[in-house]
Amino acid sequence: MRIDLHTHSSVSDGTESPAELLATAHAAGLDVVGLTDHDTTAGWSLAEAARPPGLTVVPGMELSCRWFPADRPPISVHLLAYLFDPGHPGFAGERGRLRAERLQRGERIVAALAADGYPVVWDRIVKRSGGGVVGRPHVARALVEAGVVESVDAAFATLLHHGSPYYVAKADTDVREGIALVRAAGGVPVFAHGLATKRGRVVGDDAIAAMAEAGLLGLEVDHPDHAPHERAHLRGLADDLGLIVTGSSDYHGSNKQTPIGACTTAPDQFEALLAAGTGSAPYRD
Ligand code: AMP
Ligand code: FE
Ligand code: FE
Ligand code: ZN
């Protein structure tokens, strides 16, 4: 069984439609794939309709959140959510707020770049996003297409990273509130790439323990952005806190170098996740 529980389609910041993404997963020999677009469930029905026979699809999402340390500025954290009820009003409302927040901050990032002479146009970026969830990768692609940088990675390294003068933070959900919303909607909250230092500041063990206290059910341990010692540390924490351990590629199509299935989840951990999710069901034969 090959199980990859974290991928993005063009409904958010991946480059393949949900149907193309599932075809990629199938061709790569995966048995199970999680569709986890940022802050939206718009891809779920498309994935259900396009599912190749034999492939199990886990409907999910990656919620943009923040952790508030006592003595430092907030830290951006991502919360994977699986098998929740997409119609839960409180959770649906919060996702809508986040998408609106993304539009406002994206426009501010682009305005600041344009003011310094970078040839990027907000309306064009929104249009190219297909009306989906707009994020920094869309701005990165516009910079590549304008010939400013060679790749999406280079755009992040130079202009769009969290320490850049062009970076604008979003008012993301307090992660404890996010965990509560996922649980209220019958879903399984899993802390995504918790020690990915290349993305910015990361939280301490105290935060992960507090998240577990708030109802977190899993930790994404095997992730392309985690070094071996970071995986070992997270595995130890999951063991101490009684959390499910997941592994996944965080595939974004051609927006990232990582191939689908680059990291995977053990079958017994997947079974535990399935047993904990009551808000929706996987799409399977
Ligand atoms: P946003 O949600 O708009 O803040 O953008 C975050 C997204 O950008 C993540 O979900 C990744 O897809 C991508 N990303 C973040 N950091 C990097 C990086 N260093 N290089 C390439 N892509 C990145
Ligand atoms: Fe992303
Ligand atoms: Fe993420
Ligand atoms: Zn992701």
Two tokens at 232?
């070992």
Asked which of 158, 181, 198 is the last residue of a domain, the reply is 158
Co-location of 255 and 195 in the same domain? yes
Mean pLDDT of 31-52: 98
Give the model confidence (pLDDT) of 96-123 as tens digits. 999 999 999 999 999 999 999 999 999 9
Mean pLDDT of 228-240: 98
Beta-sheet strands, E only, within the chain = 3-7, 32-35, 56-67, 75-82, 173-174, 188-192, 218-222, 244-247
> Which CATH number goes with the domain that contains 238?
3.20.20.140
Residue-level pLDDT at 199: 85
Co-location of 51 and 144 in the same domain? no
Co-location of 89 and 179 in the same domain? yes
**Span from the CA of 7 to the centroid of ligand 3 (angstroms):** 10
Co-location of 76 and 60 in the same domain? yes
Residue-level pLDDT at 142: 97
pLDDT at 131 over 80: no
Please state the domain count of the chain.
2
Co-location of 9 and 92 in the same domain? yes
Residue-level pLDDT at 57: 99
Query: What is the rounded CA–CA span in Å between residue 271 and residue 163?
Result: 39
Q: Mutual orientation of helices 136-145 and 89-115 as an angle, nearest 10°?
A: 30
Co-location of 211 and 268 in the same domain? yes
Co-location of 88 and 222 in the same domain? yes
Give the model confidence (pLDDT) of 68-101 as tens digits. 999 999 999 999 999 999 999 999 999 999 999 9
Closest ligand 1 atom number to CA of residue 152: 21
pLDDT at 224 over 80: yes
Which residue type sits at 207? A
Q: Where do the H-state alpha helices sit in 159-248?
A: 175-184, 205-213, 228-241
Residue-level pLDDT at 68: 97
pLDDT at 26 over 80: yes
Residue located via tokens 């929104």: 126
Maximum separation of any 2 CA atoms in the chain, in Å: 53
Asked which of 132, 158, 184 is the last residue of a domain, the reply is 158
Rounded to the nearest 10°, the torsion over CA 118, 121, 122, 127 is -140
> Which CATH number goes with the domain that contains 134?
1.10.150.650
Contact yes or no for 223/197 (Cβ under 8 A): no
Ligand 1 binding pocket (C-beta < 6 A) is 13, 38, 135-137, 152-153, 156, 198-199, 252
The overall average pLDDT reported for the chain is: 97
Per the domain annotation, does 129 fall within a domain?
yes
Question: Structural domain of residue 129, as residue ranges?
Answer: 100-158
Co-location of 268 and 186 in the same domain? yes
Co-location of 117 and 248 in the same domain? no
Contact yes or no for 220/190 (Cβ under 8 A): yes
Co-location of 152 and 244 in the same domain? no
Residue-level pLDDT at 130: 82
Residue-level pLDDT at 91: 98
Mean pLDDT of 168-186: 98
**Span from the CA of 63 to the centroid of ligand 3 (angstroms):** 8
pLDDT at 8 over 90: yes
Who wins on pLDDT, 115 or 200? 115
Give the model confidence (pLDDT) of 50-62 as tens digits. 999 999 999 999 9
Q: Atom 5, ligand 1: which residue's CA is nearest?
A: 136
Residue-level pLDDT at 198: 82
Where residue 195 falls among pLDDT bands split at 50, 70, 90? very high
Determine whether 13 is exposed, middle or buried from the number of CB atoms within 10 Å of its CB (0-12, 13-18, 19+).
buried
Two tokens at 199?
């993305």
Mean pLDDT of 247-275: 98
Query: What is the rounded CA–CA span in Å between residue 54 and residue 30?
Result: 9
Co-location of 73 and 176 in the same domain? yes
- The pTM score is 0.97
Co-location of 136 and 228 in the same domain? no
Asked which of 119, 134, 158 is the last residue of a domain, the reply is 158
Per the domain annotation, does 281 fall within a domain?
no
**Span from the CA of 21 to the centroid of ligand 3 (angstroms):** 17
